[in-house]
Copies of this chain bind each other. A is one copy, B any other.
Amino acid sequence: MSVTLKDVAHAARVSISTASRALTGTGLTSERTQQRLTRIARELGYRPNPIARGLKTGQSRLVALLVHNLTNASFQVMAEVVQARLKALGYQMLLCIGGDDPKQESDTLTTLVDHRIDGLIVVPTGKNGPQLKALAKDVPIVCLVRRDDATDLETVLADDPQGAYLGTRHLIELGHRRIGLIVGRQDTTSGRERLSGYVRALREADIAKDDTLIHAGHFEPETGATGARKLLDLSRPPSAIFVANHEATLGVLRVTSERNIAIPDDLSLLCYEDMPWFEWHRPAISIVDNGARDLANLAVDRLLQRMDAKGNGNDGVREYRVGARLIKRDSCRQIDPASKPKPSIPKSKSSAAKSSAVKPAKV
């Protein structure tokens, strides 16, 4: 069907092996034949067959990315970043969707290694530790966003404690003392870590932690709605809500809208992770950016390094944290505890907010 190495060799009147060496540039061929063959190959439109090559070399030039879904904005940009990076290096990305379901994850993992993928970036459910660990012997693996505690795989994480801390502190600096928190499930790393960052910021400001102000729930809009209702129904409702679970944002907005609560006048709102429409929403929604782009890039970096290292990548560092940063928009306002003044939009001096940096963390 298509042009094979044999054809090229034949056209150039050399043996297949010479052709192979010349084209792969193994250096064992004379400059002249090498050039001649590259030319002929080009003329004939020869494109090496990765399958045949893979059979011999055991590589596939395929790298898989396994995420939970594609509706999550973070996963979208991660997928785009990973795909772009890999393509530039001649790899193809295999995007798989695991739905945060251990069974599906497990199935997908086995198919992937069957296909002899050269590398894997995975957002683990956390329930397939042993399998992942076993696979890691055959294939370089990097975990993304979530850690699988049952493994010691290299992991690239958002700095959720810091992000939540940053966000909470921002609200405190604006004068808020009663800050509601809507956060994800507490059996996930991110859920726990965001809560802890929130708590730390409060403690640092000598604000007593009030459990009635904290609502932990699932990663769904519904959680935001019930959470918001609960918080707003309190006898002393919060003056700001930090939605540390971006799937919940929609729910919160619906409730504030239903109740005709003006943002940021009546309530300040700060969210976690960006969404394309946050900027376009009125008021534009301030966020803590978890750095999805950086996360993906770092994950690719790590993976590539492992793929090159060929096994001896045990250089100690097992966990990387990508710094979060605050993006101030218009949904949080300064509070003056003394009077009830006109709302003032905080000016965005975003240069100060760029605290993002990539730093390795110790195990």
The chain A residues found within 8 Å of chain B, CB to CB, are 1-2, 47-52, 54-55, 58, 60-62, 69-71, 73, 76, 79-80, 83-84, 87, 92-97, 107-108, 110-112, 114-116, 138, 221, 250-251, 253-254, 256-258, 260-265, 276-277, 280-283, 330, 343, 345, 351-352, 354-360
Contacts and interface: CB of A to CB of B under 8 A. Distances in A.
B92 A356 contact: no
Contact of A282 (B2, B87, B282, B354): B354
Contacts of A360: 330, 345
Given A70-B79, A83-B95, A282 B265 contact: no
A55 B51 contact: yes
B283 A358 contact: yes
Contacts of A92: 94, 96, 111-112, 115
6 contacts: A51-B115, A80-B97, A250-B280, A257-B355, A261-B355, A264-B356
B254 A282 contact: yes
B80 A359 contact: no
Q: Quickly give the copy total for this chain.
A: 2
Nearest to A252: B280
A343 B253 CA distance: 23
B277 A277 contact: yes
Contacts of A251: 280
Given A115-B50, A283-B356, A359-B282, A276 B250 contact: yes
A265 B358 contact: yes
Contacts of A355: 256-257, 260-263
Contacts of A358: 262, 264-265, 283, 330, 343, 345
Contacts of A1: 58, 138
